[in-house]
């Protein structure tokens, strides 16, 4: 079957994410059940509507646009659907919500289905999941929320947004260097640091939500204790490093490690940190190009790097060797990389208005399968000659 894993949607993309569809459907179904219970018992039951999504389908959400000018390029939140069986993204958006002159520059998807927070030019806005219904199917959509993010209004450009894994805490880092941490959905301020960095570049929560790591435009990273709202460690750069992005990852000892992608004059270093001592474990150069995006798989086994030349490198986290290199995955630089929750696919987006899903081959499994095939072929050859010697198979002569 022909693959259509790369699609263009006419919007230069700045952010991308997999949609937590199971969580969203659970919320929708709970709402539908309540509505059903509220109906009169003598009312005729409504016809069942089949779900458009099977276990082989997933939604992805992408944000971006052309900015404030009159370029004709829309600013929008875009939904697309990915079919694992055919390795294909839908050739047209499933839904597109235009945001007028407001450019969605950064995005964080709530992990429990509460919606999408987008950083615009001056404020952050919440978009909620919507279900567009027809006579036959349910189809996921997106709509603007009536909820106003009061603590994130008129705060300037936010360069980094992140939820913790439970979706109970939101962090936002501004171009002005201000870091805000808020409880969700109450928006109660947990931390409000006006000089976290000269400009906040990236944010990531630890898996247990206890720590938040922030990176600035230059200089060391900072580790924040979320409960005490205080800095507990500094992550110093070495030599000519400039930290670009950071992500926590599970490790083999049931703990977790921190990875930072660092730009150097020789290429990209991946620095691994111990999350007890906050000391470096190692630093390894992985590619010689300039990095534009970085992420880590949920199982911690793989890292992904996007470059300014449109290439994608998927890297084995245990030995820092390249697992898969996709040259010219996009024509423009790669702006976002996100692994699926099961770590079997990588979503990427680009300023060239394209989105792509790269399925990740289990090379160990593939190699094992090849040896199994070879073994059975050899076994069949031996069995043939044995049976021939025993006269079980008559000689053609």
Sign of the alpha-carbon dihedral angle for 108, 180, 145, 101: negative
Identify the pLDDT of residue 67: 87
Q: Give CA angle at 357 (94, 244), nearest 5°.
A: 110
Ranges of residues in the chain whose predicted pLDDT is under 70: 1-3, 30-57, 69-70, 133-138, 253, 363-376, 383-388, 390-391, 393-397
Q: What pLDDT score does 209 carry?
A: 96
Nearest C-alpha neighbor of 25 from the set 46, 55, 47: 55
Number of H helices, E strands in the chain: 2, 30
Tracing tokens 């660092």 back to the chain, one arrives at 262
Beta bridge partners of 81: 59
pLDDT of residue 51: 42
Are the C-beta atoms of residues 127 and 97 closer than 8 Å to each other? yes
Nearest to 62 by CA among 93, 108, 16: 16
Long-range contacts of 280-283 (CB under 8 A, 24+ apart): 280/238, 281/257, 283/238
Contact 54, 25 (CB under 8 A): no
Report the predicted TM-score, pTM, of the whole model to 2 decimal places: 0.85
The span from the CA of 259 to the CA of 80, in Å, is: 30
| pLDDT score for 395 | 56
Tell me: cis bond preceding 390? Omega within 30 of 0 counts. Answer: no
Identify which of 286, 293, 283, 267 has the alpha carbon closest to the alpha carbon of residue 324.
Answer: 286
Q: Are 324 and 337 in contact (CB under 8 A)?
A: no
């Amino acid at each position: 079957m022909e693959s259509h894993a790369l699609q263009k949607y006419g919007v230069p993309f700045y952010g991308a994410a997999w949609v937590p569809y199971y969580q969203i459907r659970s919320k929708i179904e709970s709402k539908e059940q309540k509505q059903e219970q509220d109906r009169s018992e003598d009312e005729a039951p409504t016809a069942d509507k089949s779900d458009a999504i099977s276990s082989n389908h997933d939604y992805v959400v992408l944000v971006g646009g052309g900015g404030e000018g009159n370029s004709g390029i829309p600013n929008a939140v875009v939904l697309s659907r990915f079919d694992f069986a055919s390795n294909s993204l839908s050739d047209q958006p499933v839904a597109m919500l235009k945001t007028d002159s407001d450019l969605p520059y950064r995005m964080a998807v709530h992990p429990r289905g509460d919606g999408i927070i987008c950083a615009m030019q001056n404020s952050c806005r919440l978009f909620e999941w919507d279900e567009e219904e027809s006579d036959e199917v349910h189809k996921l959509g997106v709509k603007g929320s009536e909820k106003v993010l009061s603590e994130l209004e008129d705060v300037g450009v936010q360069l980094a947004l992140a939820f913790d894994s439970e979706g109970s805490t939101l962090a936002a880092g501004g171009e002005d260097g201000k870091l805000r941490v808020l409880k969700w959905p109450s928006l109660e301020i947990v931390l409000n640091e006006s000089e976290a960095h000269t400009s906040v570049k990236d944010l990531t929560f630890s898996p247990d939500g206890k720590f938040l790591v922030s990176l600035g435009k230059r200089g060391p990273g900072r580790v924040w204790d979320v409960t005490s709202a205080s800095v507990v460690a500094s992550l110093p750069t070495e030599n000519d490093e400039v930290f670009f992005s950071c992500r926590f990852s599970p490790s083999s000892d049931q703990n977790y490690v921190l990875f930072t992608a660092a730009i150097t004059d020789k290429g990209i270093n991946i620095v691994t940190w111990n999350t007890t001592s906050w000391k470096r474990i190692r630093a390894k150069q992985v590619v010689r190009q300039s990095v534009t995006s970085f992420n880590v798989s949920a199982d911690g086994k793989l890292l992904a790097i996007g470059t300014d030349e449109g290439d994608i490198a998927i890297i084995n986290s245990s030995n820092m060797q390249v697992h898969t290199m996709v040259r010219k995955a996009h024509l423009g630089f790669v702006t976002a990389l996100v692994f699926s929750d099961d770590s079997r696919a990588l979503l990427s987006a680009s300023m060239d208005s394209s989105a792509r899903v790269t399925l990740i081959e289990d090379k160990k499994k593939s190699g094992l399968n090849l040896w199994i095939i070879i073994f059975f072929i050899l076994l069949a050859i031996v069995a043939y000659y044995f049976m021939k010697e025993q006269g079980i198979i008559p000689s053609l002569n």
